[in-house]
Amino acid sequence: MELDKQTPMKLKVLHVLRRFIARIARIFFSLYYYNDSKKIPPIKSDILKEPAIEVARKIRNKEITSVEVLEECVKRINDINSPMNCFIENRFELAYREAREADALIQSGTKSADELLKEKPFLGVPFTCKDSIGVKGLHQTAGVVSRRDYIAEEDAEVIKLLRNKGAIIIGTSNVPEVCMWWETHNHIYGRTNNPYDTTRIVGGSSGGEGAMQGAGGSIFGIGSDIGGSIRMPAFFNGIFGHKPSRNIVSNHGQYPTPNTEYINSFLGVGPMTRHAVDMKPILEIISGENSKKLNLNEPVDVGKLKVFYQINNNAPLTDPVDPDIETAMLKVVEYLNVKHKIVAEEKKISLLRKSLPIWFTNMKSTKLFGTFLMKDCSIVSIIKEIFKNIIGCSENTLIALFTSLLDYGGIKYEDEKYKAYVKLRQELENIFKDMLGDDGVFLYPTHPTPALYHNEPVLRSMNFAYTAIINCLGFPATTIPLGLSREGLPVGIQVIANHNNDRLCLAFAEELDKAFGGWIEPQNSSK
């Protein structure tokens, strides 16, 4: 893997050593998990394979009932949750009541199907969201043991908006501790498994939701993303996931809450779906009044877009892009040329090599990460907790504790190095803005490898650089599934557009969904 010539020798040595250890560890993990994967049951109901907008249409037109759809979701969740452990808390009783109310409204005939489409486009459609997004009456733990008894007193803003449009929230899905790691595991609910291979990760922090959607557990899902937390789980679980433009969707009702407006702008709530056509109508709802800024219903001619792409970021401590992912991207480039006569331009944006230090620095604030885990988050307390974890006596996960410890080192908030990296972030944002304009999209890996084995991310921890940098820059980005790897695991890419040009990402996703087949039911994957 090519590194910047100016990369310090110590970092180059560390990079080579890390890759060597990771390769040896891969052999160990493959032997450890050999023949350990469990098959999940096939989807028995066609309702769960259809787009959310089609399910909503059938409910409005009395072809099916909301109760019937909910029953299929509940059955599916019960079928998959034992091998996958993705769904953590339900509100089925209340959901059934709301489903019956939706059906009664439709049967009453007081409103026509067209009126219902306009006023409540997702009437009677069941959905789920990650645990860190507040749902009134349900626990909102963010995977933190000290919050295991915390119950949300109100719905998060996105949940309110969806419920106002008729959608029915049926429960919440698992997350990593404090939502700051890309394997979903905590000491309240345990670890979540990938529907394509249960020995593999689902990503994080919306990992439980990614797995839910990949396995067909609910009709659509809602996640949030501050460093790739929608896009990585979408990628690992073979679905679509969209991180909106900055400051478009309200973060009200999420935990943890960003403590500065600057960091808040990195965090975005967005849809996670099996079908590309569902993302736009969901985004239109959850963006509220800000949907006007997105012009989502303005037609997009994919054939007239300028397309740019980059395969590797060449950053230290990250893996090179897997050949299966590179092949998938190049197939997209070829498809665009054949179908639309688009000649995609390959880019080598050198500043992307600094994705990690830019993201880590710009995430700094006066509030220490450890305060989300424990009351006393001093260095001594964290080290004590790490030793307790080693002997199995800690309430916290090891990765969260190490993250808390690292917060004491490195660049300090608002010192000269911090300001230099903030300036560098702005420079990179300007490069993208100039490149993309109002009619350009940038194709980029969502992640350099397909889903890893459980615990393997510890040895490849910086691979999230491909998604994290886009949060800093505030651009919209959509993960698009593009089939399966040689191991039967989902692969895909992300497409990025300029600020508030989310419609370009979504239109591009719809184009590739039709061209490459989109989501593939896990049971139909070959290993």
Q: Nearest-CA neighbor of 447 among 354, 324, 346?
A: 324
Contacts of 283 (CB under 8 A, 6+ apart): 242, 244, 249, 270, 271, 291, 294, 296, 502, 506
Residue 441 β-bridge partners: 307, 497
**C-beta atoms surrounding 524 within 10 Å:** 9
Active site residue 205: yes
Catalytic residue among 205, 245, 355, 461: 205
Polymer length of the chain = 527
User: Is 222 within 8 Å of 270 (Cβ atoms)?
Assistant: yes
Q: Are strands 306-309 and 345-346 parallel, antiparallel or unpaired?
A: parallel
Q: Is 83 exposed, middle or buried (0-12, 13-18, 19+ CB in 10 A)?
A: middle
Rounded to 5 degrees, what are φ and ψ at 418?
-60, -50
Tell me the C-alpha distance between 153 and 149, whole Å: 12
Active site residue 304: no
Catalytic residue among 130, 136, 160, 243: 130
Q: Are strands 220-225 and 240-243 parallel, antiparallel or unpaired?
A: unpaired
Catalytic residue among 173, 206, 224, 229: 229
For residue 243, give the amino acid letter.
Answer: K
Contacts of 265 (CB under 8 A, 6+ apart): 246, 247, 474
Active site residue 130: yes
Known catalytic residues?
130, 205, 229
